[in-house]
């Protein structure tokens, strides 16, 4: 039972344009969401997060949007750069007390930025 | 400062064998978590150790086990390997129990079972 779903295994975007990565979840108890970026042969690195009390969080070129009613979140990268080419994982947690809950990850979306 | 170190980087084993993977956390970090990454399932949490005690465990069979030593280094063992155990095994460390999103990941051990 995949509680966090990234339905697009891959995405190609022209350099300079906007990249939009999508993530859906089924567990209504999830209230904290994160995006990780992973390069080949490296571990995932934390990118940006959002709490369920917000619907948007912005950090430089990266913005995460949360639609709680639709159980959907998205990561926007503007403008997209070649170095953004990586696999992006969406993750969710129930409860901000990380001592009790571990993250549930999606299957990842491979983003390729075309120069 | 040195990051999370996982050894070996690559491993090929045959079905039925057992394997031990090693993870050295960032100096001073006492929490070590293990994850399995496969194309179909994404990243799945295996277990977390903090100060030599297992704090959390994911939904994996008992063939998957781990331990943590007094110097915080951790090992993960998989017995009676199955083809489906082929995956990238990632270790992450943090200074706090739970740790996410403060965890720092290693580069992983790619296990292939033939």
Torsion, Cα B7 B12 B15 B21, to 10 degrees, reads: 0
Report residue A83: phi and psi, to 5°. -70, -10
Whether residues A107 and B39 touch (CB distance < 8 A) is answered with yes
Strand duo A56-59 + A32-38: pairing: unpaired
Give tens-digit pLDDT for B2-38: 799 999 999 999 999 999 999 999 999 999 999 999 8
Would you tell me how many other CB atoms lie within 10 Å of the CB of residue A105?
Answer: 24
Tell me if residue A82 falls in helix, strand or coil: helix
Question: Measured between CA atoms, how close is B14 to chain A, in angstroms?
Answer: 23
CA torsion sign for A93, A94, A98, A101 is negative
User: pLDDT digit string (tens) for B87-109?
Assistant: 999 999 988 777 666 688 999 99
**In angstroms, what separates the C-alpha of B2 from chain A's closest C-alpha?**
14
Taking only the tens place, the pLDDT of each residue in B72-85 is 999 999 999 999 99
- Answer whether B40 sits within 8 Å of A107, measured CB to CB: yes
Contact A44, A37 (CB under 8 A): yes
For residue A102, the chain B residues in CB contact (below 8 A) are 33, 45, 48, 56, 58, 98, 100
Residue A24, pLDDT score: 97
């Amino acid at each position: 039972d995949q509680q966090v779903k990234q339905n697009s295994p891959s995405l190609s975007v022209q350099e300079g344009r906007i990249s939009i990565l999508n993530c859906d979840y089924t567990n209504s108890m999830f209230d904290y969401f994160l995006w990780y970026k992973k390069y080949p042969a490296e571990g995932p690195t934390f990118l940006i997060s959002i709490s369920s009390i917000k619907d948007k969080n912005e950090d430089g070129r990266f913005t995460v949007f949360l639609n709680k009613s639709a159980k959907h979140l998205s990561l926007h990268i503007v403008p997209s750069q070649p170095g953004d080419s990586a696999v992006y994982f969406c993750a969710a947690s129930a409860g901000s007390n990380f001592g009790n809950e571990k993250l549930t990850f999606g299957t990842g979306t491979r983003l390729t930025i075309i120069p | 400062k040195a990051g999370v170190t996982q050894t070996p980087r690559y491993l090929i084993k045959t079905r039925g064998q057992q394997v031990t993977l090693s993870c050295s956390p960032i100096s001073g970090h006492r929490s070590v978590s293990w994850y399995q990454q496969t194309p179909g399932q994404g990243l799945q949490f295996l277990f977390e150790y903090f100060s030599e005690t297992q704090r959390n465990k994911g939904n994996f069979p008992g063939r998957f086990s781990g331990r943590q030593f007094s110097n915080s280094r951790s090992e993960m063992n998989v017995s009676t390997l199955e083809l489906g155990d082929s995956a990238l095994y990632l270790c992450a460390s943090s200074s706090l129990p739970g740790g996410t999103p403060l965890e720092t990941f290693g580069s992983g051990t790619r296990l292939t079972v033939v």
